[in-house]
Amino acid sequence: MKKIFFSLAIATMFMAGTVFTSCQSSDQKDGDENAMLNKTEHDMQVMQNDDSDTPKMATADEWETFKLESELQINNNKIRIKELKEKIKKTGVILDSDYTKKIENLEKKNKDLKTKLEKYDKEQSDWGKFKREFKHDMDELGKAFKDV
């Protein structure tokens, strides 16, 4: 009987403590709401002032550096494609048509990247988007070389 009474007393104390600590006065609630409202207004002002939606152009130095690096990688890819074609010829054995198609596909993707680079030079569209997409395409081409 004492155990039940003692357990009931402890449970009641925990419940009372929970109720009293979770209750807030109306002044505290109003203060919290005002703080949240101010934070929301501040966030909206920051978003309005942020010009992330406007396309950004590359500076001349950025563009030249990126263009030179990209052209170097495209030329390296051309060399690797030539090596793969010579490897097919040297073996004397005609490899699968799939292998030949893969090499032709790599060559086409490499030419497309060069065209894309030249096209951007004339248009000068959104720099960040172009750079991200171009690097992704270059990475995909590098993975395709590894797969061959």
Write out pLDDT tens, residues 96-142: 677 788 888 999 999 998 888 888 876 667 788 888 898 999 899 88
pLDDT of residue 90: 72
The two three-digit tokens of residue 60, written as one number: 């001349």
Above 90 in pLDDT, residue 57?
Answer: no
- Compute the C-alpha angle 75/109/76, nearest 5°: 15
Of residues 134 and 50, which shows the higher confidence score? 134
pLDDT of residue 6: 72
Above 90 in pLDDT, residue 19?
Answer: no
The two three-digit tokens of residue 140, written as one number: 């995909």
Scan for tokens 């949240």, then name that residue: 36
**How far is it, in rounded angstroms, from Cα 118 to Cα 67?**
9
The model's pTM is 0.56
| Per-residue DSSP letter, 45 | H
**How far is it, in rounded angstroms, from Cα 17 to Cα 11?**
10
Above 80 in pLDDT, residue 88?
Answer: no
Helices and strands counted in the chain (H then E): 5, 0
pLDDT, mean of residues 53-59: 63
Above 70 in pLDDT, residue 17?
Answer: no
Of residues 78 and 33, which shows the higher confidence score? 78
pLDDT, mean of residues 5-12: 74
Q: Which of 103, 102, 138 is nearest to 117 (CA)?
A: 138
